[in-house]
Amino acid sequence: MPTLDREWLKRKIAEDGEEGEIGAGFELFAAPADRAAPGGVLERQFAVLCEKWPGAIITQQRDGSHHLLVPDVEPLKPEQFDRRTTAIAIVIPLGYPQAAPGSFFVRDDFHLSHGGYIPNTLSSKELSHAPLGRGWSRLLMKPDAWAPNSDDLVTAVNLARVWLGASQDRENSRTIFGETE
């Protein structure tokens, strides 16, 4: 389960009183200690994801989308890369889960085992807009078969893992993601 910065929260409550604004569009309401506030779909899915990848963090952006950072993700075929794990970042769009995650990123310094670049990626230098800042390469993929009632954040991370493993084999990736020529 994600951790809450309790000291920050205490300071914020002290500043704002029992009810106050945390940030643009968000308000904090005190709840009895014995009753947990209900979480949304994203929060519940993030808690499940943290069971598999405990170091994951999620941040809300000004536009209402979220950035999910999952460290130490092992690609489907780790032997193809210069290290066994990498961080994966995913942009969770407004309208999630009906709107599928559409942007997946790995660190610019994550390469193939022979030192080459991963096919079908754009480095942060090539991107006109780098939503995660410099140092991240975008995987050029789109989950065509997203099922919002059953797919979740773990599915999104696994899609990126599969895509990394399939990036060496375009025919395989077409089969996985339903692409046709």
Rounded to two decimals, the pTM is 0.66
pLDDT digits (tens, 9 = 90+) for 101-152: 877 888 888 888 888 888 777 776 776 666 667 788 888 766 667 899 999 9
pLDDT digits (tens, 9 = 90+) for 29-61: 444 343 333 458 999 999 999 999 999 999 888
Architecture of domain 41-177: Roll (3.10)
* Domain limits, the chain: 1-37, 41-177
Query: Following DSSP, what letter does each residue of the chain receive, concatenated?
Result: -----HHHHHHHHHHH-SEEEEETTEEEE---TTSPPPP-HHHHHHHHHHHHSTT-EEEE-TTS-EEEEEEEEPPSSGGGBSSS-EEEEEEE-TTTTTSPP-EEEEETT--BTTSPPPTTEE-TTT-S--TT-TTEEEE----TT--TTT--HHHHHHHHHHHHHHTT-HHHHHHHHT---
